[in-house]
Each structure stands twice: as C-alpha cells, then as structure tokens.
Amino acid sequence: MSLLIRYYMFKSRFAHSHLICLLPPQSAQHKVILLTIPPQVLRDGDQIPFYIKPITRGIVGKVETMFFFPNIKMNFEFLEEQLATSGGDYLCGAKLTAADILMSFPLLACRTGGIGIDMSVYPKLQAYIARIENLESYKRSIRIAEEKTGEKYEIL
C-alpha cells in the first residue's frame, strides 16, 4: 500500500517543528498518523549521540529537500499568482477578507522564521505581508496581546 506524505513546518514558541502526515490514499478505514519531529533536536540535540547526528541530519535534510521546500515553493507561487490576479491588494480582491486574516500569521512566520526560502523571489507576497503589518487593526491587535500578556509580541 502506498502512502501519501504531507510535510509541514511550523514554529512553536519553543522550537521549529516538522509535521509529517502519512495518509493512506482513499482509505477511510486507516487512521492518519501524525509525527512531530523537532529538527533542532534531530540535527544538534544533546539527546542524539554524536556518531548518530550525521544520520539524523541527513534524514532531516532529505525530508526538507524532497517534501518541505517544494511544497512551500508551490504554495508561495500560487499566492503570488493569486495576488497578481485578485484585482486588488488582498487575496480575494480589494477588501480584507477572512482568507487574508487566516494567511497573515503563517506568512509572517515564514518571512521572519528563516525557513530557508528566498522571499525576494516573491515581491507581491512581500508587499502583501507589509500591507497586513501596516493595517491599523493588526497593530491594535498586537498592542492588545502585549497588554494582556505583559510581554513584547514577536512572530516566533
């Protein structure tokens, strides 16, 4: 049986995490397996013996090369094209929509998180992220979050 592998990367407050979803194709009987792997631990973690680190680094590097980076590139190209054809400054046109709000955090995190993607290749996406950050409602939500937590807000 072949498996469809979906690979995602996100940053938690503590470390990068990789999420690998193994999905049996068109089979509702099988459970979805979710595996969370913090790559810093696999690459340079104290728990990994020094003689195993080259192996774990190689595995993480292959997963990123084969799954993560091509997937991010495809999604960024789609978003770049969507912004070019939307007829406005936002994903769905001239007005801010729920799609923009939902996409704001992952895009801001990708831009500031050092995921290994050259964002200068996506100028419309960069301008879009800057527009989101300059919205008064975005700035106000940051202020409220900082007041409630007592901490300075940082994107990962």
pLDDT at 56: 82
| Residue 38: per-residue pLDDT | 57
Residue 156 included in any domain:
no
Task: Tell me what pLDDT residue 67 has.
Answer: 80
Tell me the CATH number at 110.
1.20.1050
Query: What pTM value is reported for the model?
Result: 0.65
The pLDDT, as a whole number, for residue 115 is 67
| The total number of structural domains that make up the chain | 1
Q: What domain range is 53 assigned to?
A: 4-149
Checking 105-113 for CB contacts under 8 A at 24+ apart, the result is 105/155, 106/10, 107/79, 107/132, 108/132, 108/133, 108/155, 109/10, 109/11, 109/155, 109/156, 110/72, 111/155, 112/155, 112/156, 113/11, 113/16, 113/155, 113/156
Domain assignment present for residue 155? The answer is no
66 is a domain residue: yes
**Could you tell me the mean pLDDT of each successive run of 10 residues in the chain, 156 residues long?**
38 41 44 50 74 83 82 89 93 92 86 72 93 94 91 80
